[in-house]
Homo-oligomer: A and B are copies of this chain.
Amino acid sequence: MTQTPALTRNQTLVLGTLTKAGEPLSAYAILDRLREEGFRAPLQVYRALDKLLETGLVHRLDSLKAFVACSHPHEHAGETMVAFAICENCARVWEFSDSKIEARFSAWAEAEDFETRATTLEISGLCAACRAAAAAGKPGKPGPETSRR
């Protein structure tokens, strides 16, 4: 069940940065926000992220090359397959799981005798708020802070 073994200072800082941001951040964006705390090199961020990813407190979004704090520091223990919906406009992320989706993937894997180790389930698009704003002619937020140093 991956007992959380109390976070170190760097891990706490990185997790705090992601939580406060409320949206996905690239490792380098995290680094920039932690320079005042003494961070100097990407490795300090990546090493902290490694541990946070292991314990499930943070997720990596492959489609964005960015990291996000787990929205329900729930039990990721239950083997649950987690999916993410990412708004291209406001960068908000919805983390959800659906037992039926999981069941279908498992069915495919069983039929093919494939042993699943990791999953990447991400859908990107426009959230309700952004679509409403767009319909009303408003510009909207700039997007996720990734690829922007």
Interface residues of A (CB under 8 A from B): 62-63, 83, 85, 87-88, 94, 96, 98, 100-101, 104-105, 108-109, 112-128, 131
Contact = CB atoms under 8 A, between A and B. Distances in A.
Contacts of A120: 62-63, 120-124
A96 B131 CA distance: 30
Given A98-B108, A101-B101, A118 B128 contact: no
28 contacts: A62-B63, A62-B120, A63-B118, A63-B120, A83-B105, A83-B108, A85-B108, A85-B109, A85-B112, A94-B114, A96-B108, A100-B100, A101-B101, A101-B105, A104-B104, A105-B123, A109-B123, A113-B131, A114-B126, A114-B127, A115-B126, A116-B124, A118-B123, A118-B125, A119-B122, A120-B124, A121-B121, A121-B122
